[in-house]
Structure 1
Amino acid sequence: MTEHMQQFVRLPQQPPQKRGVVERREDFGEIYREFDQAGAAAQASRCSQCGIPFCQIHCPLGNNIPDWLKLSAEGRLEEAYEISAATNTFPEICGRICPQDRLCEGNCVIEKGFESVTIGAVERFITDTAFEQGWVRPIRPRRERAQSIGIIGAGPAGLAAAEALRRQGYQVHVYDRHDRMGGLLIYGIPGFKLEKPIVERRRLWLEDGGIQFHLNQDIGGALSFEALRGRHDAVLIATGVYKAREIAAPGSGLHGIVPALDYLIASNRKGLGDDVPDYDSGLLNAAGKRVVVIGGGDTAMDCVRTAIRQDAASVTCLYRRDRANMPGSMREVTNAIDEGIEFTWLAAPEAFLGDDHVTGVRAVRMHLGLADASGRQIVEPVAGSSFTVEADLVIKALGFDPEDLPGAFNEPGLALTRWGTLKVGSKDFMTALPGVFAAGDIVRGASLVVWAIKDGRDAAAAMHQYLEQSASFATAAE
Structure 2
Amino acid sequence: MPRQTLKFVNVAKQMPEKRDGETRRRDFDEIYESFKPEEAQTQAGRCSQCGVPYCQVHCPLHNNIPDWLMLTSEGRLQEAYEVSSATNNMPEVCGRICPQDRLCEGNCVIEQAGHGTVTIGAVETYITETAWDQGWVEPVKPIRERSETVGIIGAGPGGLAAAEQLRRKGYQVHVYDRYDRIGGLMIYGIPNFKLEKYVIERRARLLYDSGVHFHLNFEIGRDMTLPQLRQHHDAVLIATGVYKARDVQVPGVGLNGVVRALDFLTASNRKGLGDAVPEFDSGTLNAEGKNVVVVGGGDTAMDCVRTAMRQGAKSVKCLYRRNRQNMPGSQREVANAEEEGVEFVWLAAPKAFLGDDHVTKVRAQRVHLGIPDASGRQAPQIVEGSDYDLDADMVIKALGFDAEDLPTLFACEELETTRWGTVKVDFRNLMTSLDGVFAAGDIARGASLVVWAIRDGRDAAEQIDGYIKRQASGTTAGARPAEAVAAE
TM range (shorter): over 0.9
**What residue in structure 2 maps to residue 443 of structure 1?**
444
Give the aligned residue type for 1:35: F
**What residue in structure 1 maps to residue 130 of structure 2?**
129
Distance 1:370 1:221, change over 3 A: same
Determine if contact 2:147/2:476 at 8 Å carries over to the other structure. Answer: no
Question: Whole-Å Cα distance in 1 between the matches of residues 296 and 162 of structure 2?
Answer: 31
Give the aligned residue type for 2:95: G
Once the two structures are superposed, the pairs formed by residues 312-331 of structure 1 within 5 Å of their partners are: 312-331=313-332
* SS at 1:114 equivalent: coil
Q: Does 2:395 match 1:394?
A: yes
Question: Whole-Å Cα distance in 2 between the matches of residues 49 and 431 of structure 1?
Answer: 41
Once the two structures are superposed, the pairs formed by residues 294-305 of structure 1 within 5 Å of their partners are: 294-305=295-306
* TM-score (norm. length: structure 2): 0.96
Question: Whole-Å Cα distance in 2 between the matches of residues 426 and 33 of structure 1?
Answer: 40
Runs of 4+ in 1 over 4 A off after TM superposition: none
Q: CA deviation at 1:49?
A: 0.2
**What residue in structure 2 maps to residue 106 of structure 1?**
106
Q: CA deviation at 1:288?
A: 0.5
Q: Does 2:395 match 1:365?
A: no
Q: Does 2:262 match 1:261?
A: yes
Give the aligned residue type for 1:25: R
Once the two structures are superposed, the pairs formed by residues 156-167 of structure 1 within 5 Å of their partners are: 156-167=157-168
Q: Does 2:409 match 1:408?
A: yes
**What residue in structure 1 maps to residue 239 of structure 2?**
238
Question: Whole-Å Cα distance in 2 between the matches of residues 207 and 39 of structure 1?
Answer: 34
**What residue in structure 1 maps to residue 72 of structure 2?**
72
Question: Whole-Å Cα distance in 1 between the matches of residues 190 and 299 of structure 2?
Answer: 9
Question: Whole-Å Cα distance in 1 between the matches of residues 166 and 358 of structure 2?
Answer: 50
**What residue in structure 2 maps to residue 336 of structure 1?**
337
**What residue in structure 2 maps to residue 428 of structure 1?**
429
Q: Does 2:293 match 1:292?
A: yes
Q: CA deviation at 1:223?
A: 2.0
**What residue in structure 1 maps to residue 215 of structure 2?**
214
Select between 465-474 and 403-412 the one with higher mean Cα deviation.
465-474
Q: CA deviation at 1:2?
A: 5.5
* SS at 1:199 equivalent: helix
Question: Whole-Å Cα distance in 2 between the matches of residues 367 and 186 of structure 1?
Answer: 38
Select between 47-56 and 373-382 the one with higher mean Cα deviation.
373-382
**Same amino acid, percent of matched pairs:** 66
Give the aligned residue type for 2:162: A
Give the aligned residue type for 1:30: E
* 1:34-76 CA distance string (max 9 Å, x none): 1011000000000000000000000000000000000000000
Q: CA deviation at 1:369?
A: 0.7
Select between 221-230 and 243-252 the one with higher mean Cα deviation.
221-230
* 1:424-449 CA distance string (max 9 Å, x none): 11111111111111100000000000
**What residue in structure 2 maps to residue 454 of structure 1?**
455
Question: Whole-Å Cα distance in 1 between the matches of residues 333 and 123 of structure 2?
Answer: 18
* SS at 2:186 equivalent: helix
Give the aligned residue type for 2:408: G
Q: CA deviation at 1:297?
A: 0.3
Give the aligned residue type for 1:456: G
* SS at 2:360 equivalent: strand
**What residue in structure 2 maps to residue 141 of structure 1?**
142
Determine if contact 2:225/2:412 at 8 Å carries over to the other structure. Answer: no
Q: CA deviation at 1:230?
A: 1.4
How large is the RMSD of aligned CA atoms in angstroms?
1.1
Q: CA deviation at 1:475?
A: 6.7
Q: CA deviation at 1:374?
A: 1.4
Determine if contact 2:156/2:240 at 8 Å carries over to the other structure. Answer: yes
**What residue in structure 2 maps to residue 10 of structure 1?**
10
Question: Whole-Å Cα distance in 2 between the matches of residues 17 and 248 of structure 1?
Answer: 43
Select between 224-233 and 416-425 the one with higher mean Cα deviation.
224-233
* 1:384-411 CA distance string (max 9 Å, x none): 1110001000000000000000000010
**What residue in structure 2 maps to residue 33 of structure 1?**
33
Give the aligned residue type for 2:139: P
Question: Whole-Å Cα distance in 2 between the matches of residues 21 and 384 of structure 1?
Answer: 37
* 1:123-158 CA distance string (max 9 Å, x none): 000000000001111100000000011100000000
**What residue in structure 1 maps to residue 484 of structure 2?**
none
Q: CA deviation at 1:222?
A: 2.1
* SS at 1:84 equivalent: helix
* 1:81-131 CA distance string (max 9 Å, x none): 000000000001000000000000000001031110000000000000000
Q: CA deviation at 1:231?
A: 1.3
Distance 1:475 1:90, change over 3 A: closer
Q: CA deviation at 1:237?
A: 0.4
Determine if contact 2:430/2:439 at 8 Å carries over to the other structure. Answer: yes
Question: Whole-Å Cα distance in 1 between the matches of residues 384 and 416 of structure 2?
Answer: 43
**What residue in structure 2 maps to residue 247 of structure 1?**
248
Give the aligned residue type for 1:175: Y
Determine if contact 2:236/2:437 at 8 Å carries over to the other structure. Answer: yes
Q: Does 2:48 match 1:45?
A: no
* 1:433-468 CA distance string (max 9 Å, x none): 111111000000000000000000000000000001
Question: Whole-Å Cα distance in 2 between the matches of residues 14 and 161 of structure 1?
Answer: 35
Question: Whole-Å Cα distance in 1 between the matches of residues 2 and 262 of structure 2?
Answer: 48
Q: CA deviation at 1:314?
A: 0.4
Q: CA deviation at 1:473?
A: 4.9
Q: CA deviation at 1:79?
A: 0.1
Give the aligned residue type for 1:141: P
Give the aligned residue type for 1:214: H
**What residue in structure 2 maps to residue 81 of structure 1?**
81
Question: Whole-Å Cα distance in 1 between the matches of residues 13 and 153 of structure 2?
Answer: 42
Q: CA deviation at 1:474?
A: 3.7
Q: CA deviation at 1:229?
A: 1.4
Question: Whole-Å Cα distance in 1 between the matches of residues 98 and 243 of structure 2?
Answer: 20
Q: CA deviation at 1:327?
A: 0.2
Select between 404-413 and 14-23 the one with higher mean Cα deviation.
14-23
* 1:217-262 CA distance string (max 9 Å, x none): 1210122222221111111000000000010101111111001001
Q: CA deviation at 1:3?
A: 1.7
**What residue in structure 2 maps to residue 97 of structure 1?**
97
Once the two structures are superposed, the pairs formed by residues 266-281 of structure 1 within 5 Å of their partners are: 266-281=267-282
Question: Whole-Å Cα distance in 2 between the matches of residues 104 and 138 of structure 1?
Answer: 28
Q: Does 2:473 match 1:472?
A: yes
Question: Whole-Å Cα distance in 1 between the matches of residues 197 and 32 of structure 2?
Answer: 15
Question: Whole-Å Cα distance in 2 between the matches of residues 141 and 183 of structure 1?
Answer: 26
Question: Whole-Å Cα distance in 1 between the matches of residues 433 and 397 of structure 2?
Answer: 34
Give the aligned residue type for 1:41: Q
Question: Whole-Å Cα distance in 1 between the matches of residues 78 and 476 of structure 2?
Answer: 42
Give the aligned residue type for 2:382: P
* 1:318-358 CA distance string (max 9 Å, x none): 00000111000000000000000000000000011001111
Question: Whole-Å Cα distance in 2 between the matches of residues 200 and 19 of structure 1?
Answer: 25
Question: Whole-Å Cα distance in 2 between the matches of residues 128 and 198 of structure 1?
Answer: 10
